[in-house]
Amino acid sequence: MFRLIKKSAISRARLGKLTTAHGVVRTPFFMPIATRGAVKCLSPEELTGLGAQIILANTYHLFLRPGLEIMGKAGSLHEFMGWSKSILTDSGGYQVFSLARTRKINEQGVEFRSEIDGRKIMLTPELAMEIQQSLGSDIMMILDECTGHPTDYRKAALAVDRTSRWAERCKKRHLKNGEQLLFGIIQGSVFPDLRLKSAMEITAIGFDGYAIGGLAVGEPIKKAYRMIELVAGKLDQNKPRYLMGMGKPEQIVQAVKLGIDMFDCVIPTRNARHGLLYVNKKNRKSKAEFDGAFYQELHITNARYRNDFRPLDETCSCFACRNFSRAYLRHLFANNEPLSQRLASIHNLAFYLGLMEKIRGTIKSGKL
């Protein structure tokens, strides 16, 4: 389970160890996104080499394709995709709310049409659990009702209540064999009293960890930080805390300071595929504290890199930076060579996973 190793004296940052059925994961950590059972362009071997300890896969996509029958025959998602470390799966709720064209929500669950074959599917809390059990993920998430931004107070309040009732139903279906952890999700949009209410209700039910959902959906970042601070302050310090879907490097640093342990975000890999690289600033003062701009975004498709034979990031020792120049990567992007997306993805994940390692080191040395 989770062991808290250290609490910072100068912020709410924490160091910990989360033990799953597939190993120990040091917190705070970042999860690369393997939506359909593959981190785009990368092999499991490369992910391990980059220091990934755990990845996130999407229940919604994997339920629609390949589906539970094939997943059952494979044994688990780990077996299917050849990944032997930990996997967290979302509940599918977020995708139903954001992707499915027609959806109806009622107390039973969310009904939507499959984008593959058009059939109607009713995603209930029980089905969300069943799918995640079939996937064999190490960390399962409850089915929650996600609200976007902006949302009016009344709708956000109803979503909080429904999320609590669904959380109860998920917990009832949680097999207590110690193989899969189950995390609750706290909703409440940007309304402090709803966030507090949700935190109270979800923690009262009791889960292996707690996620803050419904942020990174378009709200001002300061409001997001306020909600994180508020909620994190109410959570059991001996349970891991997961901020869903956020974010940029500086947002991760800020959320760590507010007591968050777990992150996922699509931007390092998605932006990589569009040629946007995260690059550490050279020769920074007070590097350890992540003050000011500690990195920059490098648009490798820009013509200025045609003749730039430096590594992508002069401070980085990832496979892409050790072996290739900016000029070469730009050439690959200019010609739509598929290797371009792969090299950029490797670097951006090296940046993110390296950032988490630095964050852990800086908490350890008492400077964050």
**Range in contact with a second copy (rule: CB under 8 A) among 137-145, 234-242, 340-348, 359-367:** 340-348
Contact residue for a second copy among 328, 333, 351, 352 (CB under 8 A): 328
Q: Rule CB under 8 A: say whether 73 interacts with a second copy.
A: yes
Query: Cα–Cα distance between 174 and 178 in angstroms, integer?
Result: 10
Q: Are 120 and 111 in contact (CB under 8 A)?
A: yes
Q: Which two tokens stand for residue 352?
A: 């993110």
Contact residue for a second copy among 63, 80, 166, 333 (CB under 8 A): 80
Binding to a second copy (CB under 8 A): which residues in 25-64? 36-38, 40-45, 61
Binding to a second copy (CB under 8 A): which residues in 308-327? 309, 319, 323-325, 327
Q: Judged by CB under 8 A, how many residues of this single chain contact a second copy?
A: 37
Helix (H, G, I), strand (E, B) or coil at 112: strand
Instruction: Kindly name the residue from 90, 138, 144, 261 that is annotated as catalytic.
Output: 90
Q: Rule CB under 8 A: say whether 5 interacts with a second copy.
A: no
Q: Rule CB under 8 A: say whether 334 interacts with a second copy.
A: yes
Q: Which two tokens stand for residue 19?
A: 């033990």
21 vs 74 by CB, closer to a second copy: 74
Give me the amino acid identity at 38: A
Query: Cα–Cα distance between 196 and 109 in angstroms, integer?
Result: 24
Burial of 206-216, coded b for 16+ CB within 10 Å and e otherwise, reads ebbbbbbbbbb
**Range in contact with a second copy (rule: CB under 8 A) among 79-87, 219-227, 244-252, 348-356:** 79-87
Helix axes 338-364, 326-334, angle to 10 degrees: 140
Nearest to 280 by CA among 236, 250, 239, 257: 250
Q: Catalytic annotation on 236?
A: no
Residue 15, class by beta-carbon neighbours within 10 Å (0-12 exposed, 13-18 middle, 19+ buried)? buried
Q: Are 285 and 276 in contact (CB under 8 A)?
A: no
CB of 232 to a second copy, least distance (A): 35
Instruction: Kindly name the residue from 138, 261, 264, 313 that is annotated as catalytic.
Output: 264
Q: Rule CB under 8 A: say whether 85 interacts with a second copy.
A: no
36 vs 223 by CB, closer to a second copy: 36
Active site positions, annotated: 90, 264
| Contact residues: a second copy, CB under 8 A | 36-38, 40-45, 61, 65-66, 70, 73-74, 80-82, 306-307, 309, 319, 323-325, 327-328, 331-332, 334-335, 337-339, 341-343
